[in-house]
Amino acid sequence: MGGSSKSGYRALSAKNIKDGKLVQTESMKLVDEELYRRWMPQEIEEGDVFITSEAPFGEVLFWNSSEKLVLSQRVFGLKPNHNICDARYLYYWMKGPLFQGELRGRATGTTVIGLRQPELLKCGVALPSMDTQKRISAVLGAIDDKIESNAKLNGYLAA
């Protein structure tokens, strides 16, 4: 019987996604090969987009790694159709105010705000031409890269 492990695949839960980044990685549980195969019939791939369904609600992460993960609690994984949607563009769209507003409008709950998968699938995505999507994601990606570079530099200067 498979289960937790001291080595194996990291399990991604909602608490590990914040502001488009992977956080609290030390708290990620590891699962063995058997449990991985059972939980992940469709494997995570580079370019997938994750969104939290609750606590925290609506956090989005672009997976820019070849590492295989197990999707754990309160996380949906999306595989963009690369013929019509640039994956990074989808990530930026989902972080934006129009999509986030639609998410909040479809959420349920009073104590803990949450979203069910059928409601997520009803959310709209504006899809300009693929060329335009790629230009948008390139510009926003360059800005994110600069922010990350500055944050690292500030960390070095503070040390």
Q: What would the pLDDT profile of 24-42 be if each residue is shown by its tens digit?
A: 999 999 999 999 999 999 9
Token pair belonging to 134: 């790629």
The set of residues, in sequence order, having a beta carbon less than 8 Å from that of 97 and lying 6+ positions away, is none
Average pLDDT over residues 5-18: 90
Task: Examine the pLDDT at 3 and tell me if it is beyond 90.
Answer: no
Amino acid 1: pLDDT: 47
Residue 2: which pLDDT band, with cuts at 50, 70 and 90?
Answer: low
Query: How far is it, in rounded angstroms, from Cα 10 to Cα 40?
Result: 12
The pTM score is: 0.87
Query: How far is it, in rounded angstroms, from Cα 11 to Cα 114?
Result: 20
Amino acid 158: pLDDT: 81
- Give percent of the chain above pLDDT 90: 80
Going 67 to 149 to 158 to 16, the CA torsion angle's sign is: negative
- Provide the total of helices (H) and of strands (E) in the chain, helices listed first: 5, 9
Strands (E), 72-152: 75-78
DSSP code at position 40: -
Residue-wise pLDDT tens digits, 144-158: 999 989 988 888 888
- Which one is predicted more confidently, 6 or 91? 91
Q: For residue 12, which phi and psi values (nearest 5 degrees)?
A: -90, 120
